[in-house]
Structure 1
Amino acid sequence: MSLNLPSRRVVRQVATTALSSNPSLPFLLPCIQRRTAWMLKNKGTDVDPKAKPQNPLTEEFLRRKPKQVQQIKGDLASSSIFEDEEIAGPKPNQIDIAGNGEGKEQLLARDPKTMAAALDPDPEGRRRWERKMVIREIVKRGRLSRAQMLKRQERELLSKSHDFKTSVKKLVPLAKQITGKTLEEAIIQMRFSAKKVAVEVKEHLEHAKNEAIVKRGMGLGGKKDFSPVKIQTKDGKRVNVDDPTRLYVSQAWCGKGRYTEEPDYRARGRINVMKNRTTSLTVILKEEATRVRLHNEREEKEKNKKVWVQLPNRPITAQRQYYSW
């Protein structure tokens, strides 16, 4: 027959018996907690929250810290660079750049010897170059070469594009297509071209046109005394020139750029390396006046060319009085 007693009562009796024999075991007594209004009160009310810390470093920091100005709604923040001088501190002294004595401080005078290290690192080489240029001017007596004269009389522009995401093999046909055409015609050709990269070539031609107008002043017209002429280009095409300042594509070529590598997964677990190539386009824009001059030079050269004969009439200088063929 078993005794039916609550387990809590059995534990309490055992603990009471143990404490009576050994009073040094008070933790064995059961502890009953009851929530009261006294437990909800703040036990730290006796500590003053406004009391200053006893750390001397903190006291020194608080003593040196500038007093914050009371912020007004709509005023500048304390971290603003336009804050009051009381917080930001005094302004630096003004520097007199002109050296008139108006400012509080003046800049130090420049030392040519110190500046020569960067401005004239090789004085002997500079003197040799200056001597060479003076001798060249004396020998030429101010006369310009033909190339220099053409540079002064005729204008041109070289414009290089960024790298297009295409290969040289695909871009070369477009470069050949626009070479020799007027700039407006080249833009129209690229506008209706079926090639994917033709869109970027068209944008580059428009950029080169704007650059030629702004930087070189090309294609602005202004020559009213010019009579229209019909010329023949170097490749044999006939062109009517009404405006000598009209732009045309003199040269166009391509150049390889950087490429990126990408894996190309093949059959049977094989992997090839596929290169994504880039190519740039460079064009040289000139005015129709240059093409007219080249046409006239070719015509003059053809007119001055001597007629070829099989046996020219020349004196016999050999010992025999007849030709030895």
Structure 2
Amino acid sequence: MSLSMPSRRLVRGAASPATATALQSLTLHPPSQSRPLSTTTPQKWFWSKKDSSSSPTNLKDAITTGTATARKSLISKLQSRSEAPAIFEDEVAPQQIAVEAKEEAALSGENPPDQGPLTASQKRAQPKTFTRLGGSLVKEALARSVNPDPQARIRWERKMAIRQVTNGTDAYSVEPRLSRIARTERVLKSKSPWLPTSVKKLVHLARQIQGKNVEDALVQMKYSKKKMAAEVTTQLKIARDLAIVERGMGLGNSKEGGDKTTPKMEIQRKDGKWMTVGDQTKMYIAEAWVNKGPLRARNPDYRARGRMFLKDSPSTSLSVVLKEHKTLVREHQEREYRKKKQGPWVHLPDRPITAQRAHYSW
């Protein structure tokens, strides 16, 4: 039996020396030792170092430095469901960690831990599944981001395929006019860089070459006194060369038998002028216009009485559309067809008589 009351209080309340002698045998501390005032153990700080002989407090150190029996009991305790086994996965299941590391290395394209460094050819041969920023290159992941609704895309592609086959193979279907024109006629649109001139100056040259053949327009610009005529000549030559190389325009009516002679025909243009068309692949300038560009600079303009204004240096570009004479022939035939379809002209409209009355209405 032991008392929980401090011995000093018992000694103070003792009535006789005999009682004090009996109580001294019941004290918690022996008589030779003095009880400290504080109940906490003194700690070394600031200049003291950690004692290496103390017992390991880290669980990892306990597993590696402890006895075999303690290590096995601790591992079995950590592997139980009540504890968290994921903290010591690298010590408990090293084989499983190695397999997962190998799979991660294969996905990221890095070297596996159990193999040596890969050569350049082996690295190129490995499929890349991630981008530099960590995006996935897997086909399924890309499909989800690019095609969020696969069924709707399948329905749309089916609809477009049916429409194309119907318009192209059905004997009773009619090809749209714009589709037929885009399939049978060649067009090239060319735009020049920003030229150091104004719209007011360049628009006159654009109107001068509009509707002319490319050769005739080059002759007009050759003998023009305008400063920008040389730039217009350069841009026309560039557009002509692009049309020949990229679209195959202006190469002549060459047939399989080698016969390049084509019958000439008289056509009337939209402006009312008549012209003779021999080679329908000959190029002409169908459209020509100018665009206002950014300001190149602002220079001071000194005037009288100490005044100063700012001069803006503008920039302008020239755009041209080149087509073949085949387009002129088609437009002439369409106009003639519309004229014939209208029928004879009558002075009074030929409409039925309605609302007849028995008396005059005037």
Structures share a fold, TM > 0.5? yes
Distance 1:313 1:167, change over 3 A: closer
State yes or no: 1:200 paired with 2:231.
Answer: yes
How many Å separate the matches in 1 of 2:298 and 2:279?
Answer: 49
Partner SS for 2:181? helix
Instruction: State the partner residue of 2:342.
Output: 305
Q: CA deviation at 1:127?
A: 6.3
Cα distance per residue 1:139-189 (max 9 Å; x no partner): 462344221111111101000001111111111111111111000000000
**1:256 aligned residue (292, 300, 303):** 292
Secondary structure of the 2:327 match is helix
In structure 2, what is the Cα distance between the partners aligned to 1:219 and 1:120?
Answer: 48
Structure number with higher relative contact order (C-alpha < 8 Å, ≥ 6 residues apart): 1
In terms of fraction of residues, the more helix-rich structure is 2
How far apart are residue 265 of structure 1 and its match? 1.4
Alpha-carbon distance in 2 for matches of 1:177, 1:283: 12
1:314 offset after TM fit, Å? Answer: 3.8
Q: Which residue of 1 aligns with 2:322?
A: 285
Alpha-carbon distance between aligned partners in 2 of 1:122 and 1:173, rounded to the nearest angstrom: 49
1:251 Cα offset (Å) = 0.4
Q: Are residues 1:95 and 2:120 paired?
A: yes
- Structure 2 counterpart SS, 1:124: coil
Change (3 A) 1:286 1:123: same
Identical columns (%):
43
Q: 1:306 to 1:163 in 2, by over 3 A?
A: same
Gapped runs of 5+ residues in structure 1? 1-91, 97-102
User: Cα–Cα, structure 1 residues 323 and 302, in superposed 2: closer, same or farther, change >3 Å?
Assistant: farther
1:230 to 248, 256, 266: 266
RMSD after superposition: 2.8
Runs of 5+ in structure 2 lacking a partner?
A: 1-116, 169-174, 255-259
Larger Rg: 2
* 1:94 positional shift: 4.0
SS of structure 2 residue aligned to 1:114: coil
Q: Normalising by the residue count of structure 1, what TM-score does the alignment of the two structures yield?
A: 0.62
Q: CA separation in 2, counterparts of 1:120 and 1:287?
A: 46
**What is the one-letter code of the residue matched to 2:180?**
M
Paired residue type of 2:167: G
Number of residue-to-residue matches in the alignment? 227
How far does residue 296 in structure 1 lie from its aligned partner after superposition? 1.2
TM-score, normalising length from structure 2? 0.56
- From the superposition, tell whether residues 185 and 130 of structure 1 become closer, same or farther in structure 2 (CA, over 3 Å): farther
Q: Does 1:182 align with 2:206?
A: no
Aligned counterparts of 1:246 and 1:321: Cα–Cα separation in 2: 67
3-state DSSP of counterpart to 2:232: helix
Are the aligned partners of 2:214 and 2:285 in contact in 1 as well (CA < 8 Å)? yes
Deviation at 1:203, TM superposition (A): 0.5
| Matching residue of 2:127 | 109
Alignment of 1:132-281 (within 5 A): 132-139=156-163, 141-143=166-168, 144-223=175-254, 224=260, 226-259=262-295, 260-281=297-318
Residue 125 of structure 1: how far off its partner (Å): 6.5
